[in-house]
Each structure stands twice: as C-alpha cells, then as structure tokens.
Amino acid sequence: MLSFETLSKTYSDGTQALSAVTLDVAQGEILALVGGSGCGKTTLLRLIAGLDRPSTGRILLDGEAIVEPRADVGVIFQEPRLFPWLSVAENVGFGLSHLSGFEREGLVTNALVRVGLGGHDRRWPRELSGGQQQRVAIARALVTRPKLLLMDEPFSALDATTRASLHGHLLALWVESRPTVVMVTHDVEEAVTLADRVVVMQPKPGRIFDEFDNPLARPRDRLSPAFEAAKREILRSLDRSLRDEAPHQQKAAETAGMWW
C-alpha cells in the first residue's frame, strides 16, 4: 500500500538526511519510527506528505508516486494548528466542504464524540486546553477518512495522563476506517502502545537499523510483562543504533536513555 523504494535525501548544503530507505507498510498498519536526533524521521514524513522531494528513489501510495501533497493523506503535527477564527466544529469539518451540511454535521458530531469533546462544537480553540485542542486536531485529520495518516510527535508536549487518554481516542477513531498510519515518536512506550510495527532508525545518514513486530492485542496493558519486554527490546536496539554510529560516540550512547 505504502512503499519506500531506495529512498535517499541530500540537502543543498550536502547534509545526507536519508540513505537507501526501503520499506513496505501494509494497508491499515500503524508504523512507528523511533531513533536518535538526525536519523531523518521528520524528513521521511515530509517526503511522504509530498512537502519535499527525494534525491533518489521514490514513495508509492497504492502504486502511484507521491510528488506533492494529496487530499487522501492527513497530517497531525506537534502543535494542533487550529484556525482560531473557526469554531471547534468548523475546524473539524474544514476538509468536508464538498459534503452537504447534514452529512458534514453528522461526521463532525461523531468525530467529536469519539475524542471526548461531544457538546464542544460551538466553542473556540482559545477556550480549550492544550490536550483538548490536540483532540480537535485528531478529529479533523481522521474525519475525512484519509488513506494515510502521518503523525509527527503530536503528543510530545502533553503530560503523561493526557497523552495516554489521547492514545485511546486516536485508536477509537482509527478503528472506524483503519487508515495506514506512520508516526514519529521519541516515546518508546507510546510506540508499543499504538504501533503494529516499530522501526528503529540510525542517524548520520538516516537509515533503517532494526524492525520489531508488535503482536500484543489491543487494548494494550502498559503494566503487563509482555509490554515491558517489548519496551526493553526496542530500547536495547536504540542503544545499539547509537553505539554503532561512531566509536567516539559510545559514551554518549550509554547515557542516551535520557532522550527518549
């Protein structure tokens, strides 16, 4: 469904952000990308979104090369990026202008209920907390039923309790149409909670270092031995990816657990 074919990206200043990334993502799969700084995670998302072009290789969505932004690819950013002059309902329904008012209202109402904001449709973004604003952003991204959803650390600025709550709301909306999801995160627990597969990337240049299938059934118990085992396995791989980067960086890698 989504394929990266020998994907590389080198910027005009000579920085090689990605090197020979080859990967297939199945229809309806949630894929998490984790890795140290400079491993090209955000660059990869920009290429998938059509906001930038690869230096070599290509990205295919249903067999068609992605060369520009597409209506069937949704994005959730680190910040909600809501329109302050539109109500909550108008923000969620922004991409549904092609539908009748009745259809649009039904989809928006359902999406808001799914993210725990039923009855908030007439409120303004400024009246919501940060967590509530990100719920609106999730509803807006998924209400159009995109084929592909890209997530660039959308929960990183939130406290642990709010983040865990939003994970549940995201999955509640995802099960309705099961779009393919590619998410970037520095939070290994978040990756194990949400993803069907976790890809560890290695920096300088960014490339795939390791992959982990996640067989845990949803909803996932974060306190279970199996969940903890999955976290430890990915963390060990992250440590190895940093140690293998360069011998002189081994000492920094030994304390790298602090950044994720």
- DSSP 3-state of 66: coil
pLDDT of residue 179: 93
pLDDT band at 251 (very low <50, low <70, confident <90, very high): very low
Asked whether the predicted pLDDT for residue 58 surpasses 80, the reply is yes
Query: Average pLDDT of 204-229?
Result: 94
Residue 71 half-sphere exposure, CB side, CA atoms within 13 Å? 6
Question: What does DSSP assign to residue 54?
Answer: -
Asked whether the predicted pLDDT for residue 87 surpasses 90, the reply is yes
In a domain, 94, yes or no: no
Name the more confident of 123 and 155: 123
In a domain, 89, yes or no: no
How far apart (Å, rounded) are the C-alpha atoms in residues 112 and 37? 35
pLDDT of residue 43: 92
Residue 119 has phi, psi (to 5 degrees) of 90, 0
pLDDT band at 245 (very low <50, low <70, confident <90, very high): low
Query: Average pLDDT of 37-56?
Result: 91
How far apart (Å, rounded) are the C-alpha atoms in residues 110 and 143? 9
Whole-number percent of the chain with pLDDT over 70: 93
**How many domains does the chain fold into?**
1
Reading the block at residue 7, the tokens are 């994907």
In a domain, 77, yes or no: no
Asked whether the predicted pLDDT for residue 159 surpasses 70, the reply is yes
Asked whether the predicted pLDDT for residue 54 surpasses 90, the reply is yes
pLDDT of residue 101: 84
The CATH number of residue 158's host domain is 3.40.50.300
Which tens digit of pLDDT belongs to each residue from 115-135?
A: 889 999 999 999 999 889 988
Asked whether the predicted pLDDT for residue 248 surpasses 80, the reply is no
If you average pLDDT over every residue of the chain, what do you get?
88
Asked whether the predicted pLDDT for residue 26 surpasses 60, the reply is yes
In a domain, 124, yes or no: no
pLDDT of residue 77: 86
Asked whether the predicted pLDDT for residue 253 surpasses 50, the reply is no
pLDDT of residue 65: 93
Residue numbers of the domain that contains 55: 2-72+146-258
Output the DSSP codes for 229-249: HHHHHHHHHHHHHHHTT-GGG
pLDDT of residue 36: 85
In a domain, 211, yes or no: yes
In a domain, 85, yes or no: no
In a domain, 25, yes or no: yes
